[in-house]
Structure 1
Amino acid sequence: MHRWVYPVIGSIINLILGGIYCFSLYYQALQTTYNLSLVAPLVLAYSIAMLLDVVAVFIGGIVYDKKGPKLNIFVGAILLFIGHFIGWSLHAISDWNTARWFYYIGLGMMQGLGVGLTYSVTASTVIKWFPDRPGLASGIVIFGFGIGATVLAPLIQYFLNVVGVFQTFIRVGLIYLLVLVIAGIFFKNPPQDYKPYISANSEKRSSLRFHPSTPLVDLTLKEAVKTSKFYILWLVHAFSAFAGLMIIGNIAPIINESGIISGFNLTYITNTVTPFSMMVTSIFNACGRPFWGEVSDKIGVWKAMRLNFLITAILLIVLSFTYVNPWSFLIVVVWIYFCYGGVLTLFSPATALCFGRKNFGRIYGLICTAWGTAGLTGGATGALIRDLTGSYLYSFYLAAFLSLIATAIATLVARQKLQ
């Protein structure tokens, strides 16, 4: 098959995995079912999933380096189905104090492990097919993860309205299983002696050799963790991902709160504004991935990071003023999603640039624990701030502060040419 087939398959895999970005759609139905007023206990499953996602990405990176992508995809598909099956089984448990543990195991632990194992192979595989354009290639493949909510948000909301929350879980689990198994059959690494250029044209060979994202060394995981570059990447990743993951984990209740402030009908917010907002933000999230990947290929990954994080910080401050109406909120938040999509794109070529591609899977997997840390703290912190203060407003200020710290670090690195 032509090498461009693999980014397409990778995007399809990630599109299905991107259903986790719709997770907040379940909160209101579960609050009604179990008579809950707080959001934080429900967001905790999302936070657990984000944390175990990156644990699984790290484990999956080690397995991928030895076995290739198929095993991770098939095991991940099974875990996702089991997790959603456990979610379906909650219909038999009426007491939240009992049900919550199954909820955290199925839709937190199992979902996180399934997403992480599968996700660990998509960018890693495609970058091997595109050593000449790693930023664009990883951006395209991760595009699918971002666009997932555009497809799945209206579908999940339809299921919720028609069959209820528990039947929705089992239907979503079956979709995961079917799509991932079929896609996994065709997804593979390039041959060991693979070269992207068939033409003998010397200029093309030169463009590959001197591409700005071509690594100069190949470090082992043990060697990588002894460098300052590893910890700088990890810290910047954690701070920069916080904003996007905090908003994604709470987007439905954030929109509900904004709608209530503006006097919108809650049914209209739930059935129309929230699914539509998830679709639009998903599109911007997805489009930001190839865009920022191409930017990093042109100006360098650290300069691209600096620009991305600074724009995010500014937008979060603006968001605090537009928060009074769900439509004005949407106009600003879509650009935060656009930048967040770039965050996920930028760190895979940055890892390859700093440490090489030979042991990329396991090194990138460990770098991605920063993303999981941001997911764990971002979603939970946003919900906790809302439960303590009655508003998400102060969570925007916290996210802006962390984005500015990430901007400062990236600026220093860019000036010192650490890469």
Structure 2
Amino acid sequence: MATTDISTSVPYREVTDANGRIYRLGETDIDIMGRKRKWMVILPWVGMMGISSAEYAFASAEDTLHTAHSWSSLHIFWLLGVWVFFQAAVAFPAGKLRESGKLPARMAMMLGALGTLLGYLSLAYAPHVIVAYLGFGMFSGMGAGLVYATCVNMVGKWYPERKGGKTGFVNGGFSYGSVPFVFIFTGYMDLTNFRWVLVSVGLFLAAVVAVAGYFFKDPPKNWWPSEVDPLRPPDDPRARRSLAKNPPAVKQYTPKEAWATGRVAVMWFCLLCSSSVNIFGIAFQVELGEEAGFAGGIVATAMSLKAIVNGTGRGVIGWLSDLYGRKQCLVMVFFILGLSQYALLASANAGNLPLFLLFSSVSGFGGGAVFPMMAAMTADYFGENNNASNYGLVYSSKLISGLAGSGMGALVVGVWGHNGAFILAGTIAVVAGFVSMSLTQPGRKNRNKIEPNPKPISREDM
């Protein structure tokens, strides 16, 4: 798997379609990086698993951290909120640096690995909660943001003709990679071994991120797979149907141009709503289950099911979006997320454990599936060349959602209880579903997906 850059010696040509979009043809994935492009799905997936436990397993460590460091529960919930804030805050600037060439993919992953390690070290040894806010909240959050932005956008660049399923698969690693650590933090870690456990987990996950990231490589700007002709429907039925349901962007939009279309603002708002509800569920579902009288081990199982379905659901919805359309699947996912909050609350109030486990899984599916849809839609609407920056704009909604879902969620629970908070969460997701119905691809006046230019521009470049 050694990285070999031989693309500069391989001839290529550039063609344009009727909309003026340029496609770079002729170089294969082997020409560019010395291996098949499937590795740019597998390796980003591994990298995403390496950062997932900080968000999805953190709540499972709450009791031990509370007792070991004498941190209040409110501090611990805000720690998660601050982590999410910095994870989202780094997305747009990291995207700009990546696209300018100042931050290579490999370097972004190495920095992410360092942030991951610092986060767990601070949870283990912080002499004061402020150190935890800096080490875990800020450094680990920023590191995770670098890894997330690099991994998600890498896939869209290598699979521009059918990005939904691949993006969903990679995005899923951000969830189910946390499953073993939910059980470790809940069932094994205690006051006698918490430092050893946290440091070991930090070292292991940092190594996972660093090793995966070492082999990352971006394709050239405007690259298109040589086996798929961008000026006519592809022979591959999967690619043909995906392009029919999700036509490529009419041009490569800059972040300023993308914002001017108005679609970024709508996507930003919808992601804010869904992400807030998702983080709220991660932070408070354990409490809801315990309040209902379910045993701690069962509640941990419910959280693990939520994480597993959250992750696998991202891959499934990505695959479905290639078949049935990104927008249609996005709207469906919002309604599933909202209705599952009502159902989860009702099952807890009824003391019905099987239904609680079921709707925990359904809620996990809804909360996770939104992210790959937004990532793929951003590339569908605005192109791949500036996707890291454009998706960074959309993903920046998590700056607020982390604080709203975790920190503000704690305040709402304190005033309205779990009943009022979960009803509010469900309603927010349903509203986002209705708002998302207004999304349309900018610049495309009809449903003709790729309109060939009768005189395509062609250029050979050695």
Alignment of 1:166-245 (within 5 A): 166-191=195-220, 194-198=223-227, 203-204=233-234, 207=240, 212-245=246-279
- The corresponding residue for 1:23 is 58
Percent sequence identity is 22
The 1:338/1:222 distance shift into structure 2, 3 A limit, reads same
Aligned partner (choices 380, 385, 392) of residue 418 of structure 2 = 392
Give the deviation of 1:198 after TM superposition.
Answer: 3.2
**Structure 1 residue matching 2:249: 3-state secondary structure:** coil
With structure 2 as the length reference, what TM-score do the two structures score? Answer: 0.80
Distance in structure 1 (CA, Å) of the matches to 2:144 and 2:355: 32
Give the deviation of 1:364 after TM superposition.
Answer: 0.6
Distance in structure 1 (CA, Å) of the matches to 2:315 and 2:185: 26
Which segment drifts farther, 175-184 or 187-196?
187-196
Aligned partner (choices 162, 165, 183) of residue 136 of structure 1 = 165
Q: Is the 8 A contact 1:40 1:383 kept in 2?
A: yes
- The corresponding residue for 2:14 is none
Give the deviation of 1:156 after TM superposition.
Answer: 3.2
- The corresponding residue for 1:405 is 431
Give the deviation of 1:327 after TM superposition.
Answer: 4.5
- The corresponding residue for 1:96 is none
Is the aligned partner of 1:276 residue 2:301? yes
**Structure 2 residue matching 1:358: 3-state secondary structure:** coil
Is the aligned partner of 1:357 residue 2:384? yes
Give the deviation of 1:211 after TM superposition.
Answer: 5.9
Distance in structure 1 (CA, Å) of the matches to 2:378 and 2:292: 38
- The corresponding residue for 1:85 is 121
Aligned partner (choices 374, 399, 421) of residue 347 of structure 1 = 374
Distance in structure 2 (CA, Å) of the matches to 1:247 and 1:219: 35
Give the deviation of 1:366 after TM superposition.
Answer: 1.5
Distance in structure 2 (CA, Å) of the matches to 1:117 and 1:218: 23
Aligned residues between the structures: 401
Distance in structure 2 (CA, Å) of the matches to 1:331 and 1:46: 25
Structure 1 unaligned segments of length 5 or more: list them: 94-98
Q: Is the 8 A contact 1:43 1:250 kept in 2?
A: no
Q: What is the one-letter code of the residue matched to 1:130?
A: Y
**Structure 2 residue matching 1:412: 3-state secondary structure:** coil
**Structure 2 residue matching 1:3: 3-state secondary structure:** coil
Distance in structure 2 (CA, Å) of the matches to 1:27 and 1:158: 12
Give the deviation of 1:359 after TM superposition.
Answer: 0.8
Q: CA RMSD in A?
A: 2.6
* Structure ID, larger Rg: 2
Q: Is the 8 A contact 1:149 1:278 kept in 2?
A: no
Give the deviation of 1:281 after TM superposition.
Answer: 1.2
Distance in structure 2 (CA, Å) of the matches to 1:229 and 1:62: 20
Give the deviation of 1:254 after TM superposition.
Answer: 3.1
- The corresponding residue for 2:41 is 7
Give the deviation of 1:384 after TM superposition.
Answer: 1.9
Distance in structure 1 (CA, Å) of the matches to 2:441 and 2:144: 36
Q: Is the 8 A contact 1:63 1:72 kept in 2?
A: no
Aligned partner (choices 105, 110, 113) of residue 74 of structure 1 = 110
Distance in structure 1 (CA, Å) of the matches to 2:286 and 2:50: 20
Distance in structure 2 (CA, Å) of the matches to 1:86 and 1:355: 39
Which segment drifts farther, 305-314 or 407-416?
407-416
Is the aligned partner of 1:328 residue 2:355? yes
The 1:105/1:200 distance shift into structure 2, 3 A limit, reads closer
Q: Is the 8 A contact 2:272 2:398 kept in 1?
A: yes
Structure 2 unaligned segments of length 5 or more: list them: 1-34, 446-462
Q: What is the one-letter code of the residue matched to 2:125?
A: S
Q: Is the 8 A contact 1:242 1:374 kept in 2?
A: yes
Give the deviation of 1:147 after TM superposition.
Answer: 1.0
Give the deviation of 1:159 after TM superposition.
Answer: 4.7
**Structure 1 residue matching 2:439: 3-state secondary structure:** helix
Q: Which has the higher helix share?
A: 1
**Structure 2 residue matching 1:319: 3-state secondary structure:** helix
Give the deviation of 1:413 after TM superposition.
Answer: 3.2
Q: What is the one-letter code of the residue matched to 1:308?
A: V
Give the deviation of 1:203 after TM superposition.
Answer: 4.7
Which segment drifts farther, 27-36 or 125-134?
27-36
Which segment drifts farther, 202-211 or 277-286?
202-211
Give the deviation of 1:233 after TM superposition.
Answer: 1.0
Distance in structure 2 (CA, Å) of the matches to 1:239 and 1:150: 25
Q: Is the 8 A contact 1:213 1:349 kept in 2?
A: no
Aligned partner (choices 317, 330, 340) of residue 315 of structure 1 = 340
**Structure 2 residue matching 1:225: 3-state secondary structure:** helix
